[in-house]
Amino acid sequence: MLYLLRDDFFGDQRLTALRAALGPPDIQGLNSTTLDGARCSLSELRAAADAMPFLGERRLVVVRRLLSSKRSVDAESEAASRRGKADAAREKEFLAYFADVPPTTDLVLVEGTDFSPEHPAVKVVQRLGGEVSLEGLPRGDALSRWIEERVRAKGGRIERSGVETLLAASIDDARVLDQNLDKLVAYAGDERIGSRAVQLLVAESRETSVFELVDAVGERDRRGALAAYRLLLADNVSPIYILVMLTRQIRLLLLAREAQENREDLARTLKLHPRVAQKIGQQARHFPIDRCIAAYAKLANADQAIKTGLATEDLAVEMLLVDLTG
C-alpha cells in the first residue's frame, strides 16, 4: 500500500504505527528500508520494494523527500532548464512505478512540510487506493481539543486559560507543541496546567507577552507597557531578554511597514507564520518608519547604559519603556 505523509509530528506517528505493525523490533529491522529521495534511483527503490518480506508478512520502504528534493540552480540559466526537465522526467518515472509496488510492501513517501497538496503524486496515490495525510496541525476549536486530548494522554490536566495561552503563542509545529506539553505536564504534576505555567515554560508564550508589551508601547500606554514588563519580570524573564525581543520586534515592525508600503506579502517577507505576521502588520499601524528608527536609537542607548554601568538592567529597560511611550 502507498502512503504520502508530511515530515512532521503526525507523519512520525503514522510511520511509527506502520513500523509497529511489522512485528517485534528485530522483525522490523529485517523488513524496513529507508532511502534518501534526493539520491536514490528508480532501480534502488524497485529493488527495495520488490524484495520479499523475511520472517514476516510485509515490508516497509520509507523514501524521504523524493518529490520535494529539487536542486536549486539559477532559474534563468540554461542549466536550470535542463535540470528542471530532468527532475520532471525522473519524477514521472517514479510516479509510473507506484502502480507496480507489490502488495506485500508498504511504500511510504515522507515529504517536506511545504509539499503542495496539488502535487500530481496526491492523485496518483489516491487513485491507487493509498493514504494521503498532509493536513498538519488542526485549527481553531479542533486544535483546542487536540491539546486537551494530548495532555490527557500524557496523564495531565489543563485549564481553559492554559489552552488559550498556548493558542495565542501561535506554535505551528506540532512536534514543538507536543514537546511543550510534555514539559507542562511534568511541571504541573497533579495540578491543572494554567496560563501562568504556560507563560513560564513556553518560550513562544513569552514572545506573545512581548507582543502585548509592544502593543502598549504602540498605543503610548505607559501604564500598560510597564504592567506587561513587570509581569514578564515576575515570570523570571530577564530584562536583557526583553530588550533583545523588543529590538527584534521593532526590526520586524520596520520590515512590515516597508512591506505594506510596497504591497508585499507580510508572511513571506517576514518569514513568519501568517498569524504572527498578521499581528505584526496590525502593530505596524502604530509605528511609522521614523518612529521605528527613533526606537532603534533608544534601544541602543538602553543597551549602552547597561554595558557602561550607568543603569541596572531592569531600570534601563523601564526607563526605555517610559521614553518609548512618551
196-241 residue pLDDT tens = 888 777 866 666 667 778 778 888 888 888 888 887 787 677 888 8
Greater confidence (237 vs 302) lies with 302
The pLDDT value recorded for residue 49 is 93
In which residue are the cell numbers 554595558 written? 307
The pLDDT value recorded for residue 44 is 93
How far apart, in Å, are the Cα atoms of 16 and each of 59, 98, 264? 14, 22, 41
DSSP state of 70: P
Q: How confident is the model at residue 15 (pLDDT cuts 50, 70, 90)?
A: very high
Q: Does residue 175 have a pLDDT over 60?
A: yes
In the chain, DSSP assigns E strands to: 2-6, 32-36, 59-64, 105-111, 131-133, 157-158, 192-193
The pLDDT value recorded for residue 71 is 46
Chain Cα centroid distance, residue 107:
26
The number of beta carbons lying within 10 Å of the beta carbon of residue 226 is 16
pLDDT digits 0-9 by tens, 128-155: 999 999 888 887 788 889 999 999 999 9
Q: Does residue 109 have a pLDDT over 90?
A: yes
In DSSP notation, 128-194 reads: TT-EEE---S--HHHHHHHHHHHHHHTT-EE-HHHHHHHHHTT---HHHHHHHHHHHHHHHTTSEE-
The pLDDT value recorded for residue 84 is 61
Domains of the chain and any CATH numbers: 2-133 (3.40.50.300), 140-201 (1.10.8), 204-324 (1.20.272.10)
Q: Does residue 76 have a pLDDT over 70?
A: no
Q: Rounded CA gap, 306 and 315, in Å?
A: 9
CB proximity list for 138: less than 8 A, separation 6 or greater:
145, 146
The pLDDT value recorded for residue 132 is 93
Backbone torsions φ then ψ of 93, nearest 5 degrees: -65, -45
Q: Does residue 275 have a pLDDT over 80?
A: no
Q: How far separated are the first and last CA of the chain, in Å rounded?
A: 65
The pLDDT value recorded for residue 302 is 92
- Average pLDDT of span 101-113: 92
Which run of H or of E encompasses 231?
Answer: helix 222-234
Mean pLDDT (the chain) is: 85
